[in-house]
Structure 1
Amino acid sequence: MKISARNAISGKVVEIKTGATTAHVRIDVGGTVVTASITNEAVEDLALEVGDDVRAIIKASDVMVAKG
């Protein structure tokens, strides 16, 4: 896989919660869990299952930082 984003973090799927149209995929990236909100169709297309090794691709323009 080639991608222009440089914020690719390897991890393992620890939970998948599907809703009416959207799924929350929780990924353990070394003791920290990040959650991706993707369509149920994307979960099916990727054949995602708990325990899968995946990469979380984080778009820098969508990351917010707060203090205090």
Structure 2
Amino acid sequence: MKISARNMLKGKIVGIKKGATTAHVSLEVNGTIVMASITNDAVDELKLTVGMEAAAIVKASDILIAVED
């Protein structure tokens, strides 16, 4: 697989919670949990299961930091 995104976080799926249409997939990356919201269909098509190796791929042009005044 080739992809243009350069921010790839490899880890292990530690949780999958399906909702009505969207699933929250939790991926443990070096002790930190990264969560992705994807469709239930995507979970099924990718055959995602807890314990399997996967990667979170982040594609963003900007990351913003905010604090309260």
- Bigger proportion of residues as helix: 1
Residue correspondence of structure 1 range 1-68 to structure 2 within 5 A: 1-61=1-61, 63-67=63-67
Residue segments in structure 2 that go unaligned for 5+ positions in a row: none
Looking at secondary structure, tell me which structure has more strand per residue: 2
Q: Percent identity?
A: 60
RMSD: 1.5
Moved over 2 A (4+): 60-68
Structure 1, gaps ≥5 residues long = none
- TM (norm. structure 1) is 0.90
TM-score w.r.t. the length of structure 2 is 0.89
Q: Deviations over 1:7-50 (max 9, x none)?
A: 01101000000000000000001111010000000000000000
Write the letter of the residue equivalent to 1:37. S
> Max radius of gyration: which structure?
2
Residues in 2 aligned to 1:35 and 1:52: alpha-carbon distance in whole angstroms: 15
How many residues are matched? 68
